[in-house]
Amino acid sequence: MHQADNGFYFSVEAAQNHNDTFFGDTDRYSSDDKGVTEAAQEIETRWRFDLGDGYSVAPGMVTVFTSSNTHYRPFIQGWKSFDNGLNLSARYRYNTVNDAHSDRELDGSGYTRRESHQFDIWFAYNIGNFGMSYNPRFRYQDGVDQGTGDDTYWEHTLAFNYKLDDGWTPYVELVSLDKTYINDDGHHENDYAVRLGIVKQL
């Protein structure tokens, strides 16, 4: 990722599925032999404009390339920073994909193109080197399954980070992923995730 002085930002991310083994082989003729495979590549670009008095706004685009299709996610995001260390941000994002039959319709009539609306809010607070944030996320597409057995999806992320010397910042995220887990009976249940990572600022 890179943040330029003129407000332009871009990041590139690659993800892999490690499946049953961390760096093992994959055998297309054996369903029991699943190793590391490609998941997706994501590119995000945005241009942030300062409006003064702690306000700023940025249009942007997230593009995700997978082995089966390409996702396009244009967005508009705004920020407000306060002198006491509190930062607020809100974003609207439109999610679509170049696959006319990507998502399941809830009425059982088949599949349709993803055209969902996503809303995010971030509440962030920094005290010295310590930072924390809360991000509620809502996604909706009328009559189309959002992976929850419903046409809505709620996600909640609570994150903590600590800035170390030389630009290193480890972080942890605790995430509630709505009813995206399907149990053995085929019913949707709440799913959760814990993410650990570290950021290096160059």
Helix or strand or coil: residue 187?
coil
**What is the torsional sign of CA 146, 149, 154, 155?**
negative
Number of domains in the chain: 1
Query: 115 with 140: CB under 8 angstroms?
Result: no
**In a 3-state reduction of DSSP, which class is residue 166?**
helix
C-alpha atoms less than 13 angstroms from C-alpha of 191 in its C-beta half-sphere: 13
Tens of pLDDT, residue by residue over 48-59, are 999 999 999 999
pLDDT in tens, 105-151: 999 999 999 999 999 999 999 999 999 999 999 999 999 999 999 99
Q: How confident is the model at residue 180 (pLDDT cuts 50, 70, 90)?
A: very high
Q: What secondary structure does DSSP assign to 92-138, as a single string?
A: EEEEEES-TT-EEBTTSS-EE--EEEEEEEEEEEEETTEEEEEEEEE
Res 56: pLDDT: 97
C-alpha to C-alpha distance for 2 and 202, rounded to whole angstroms? 9
Residue found by looking up tokens 């607020």 in the block:
88
**What is the CATH classification number for the domain harbouring 9?**
2.40.160.40
DSSP state at residue 105: B
Six-digit token string for 157 = 């992320």
CA 14 – CA 90 distance, rounded (Å): 25
Closest C-alpha to 160, from 175, 145, 170, 148: 170
Q: Which two structure tokens, joined as six digits, stand for 28? A: 């297309």
CA distance 54 to 121: 17
CA dihedral sign, ordered 147, 195, 73, 124: positive
Residue found by looking up tokens 């962030």 in the block: 124
Three-state secondary-structure class, residue 107: coil
What range does the domain containing 64 cover?
A: 2-200
Please give the residue that has the higher pLDDT: either 3 or 27: 3
pLDDT at residue number 71: 96
Q: Is the pLDDT of residue 202 over 70?
A: yes
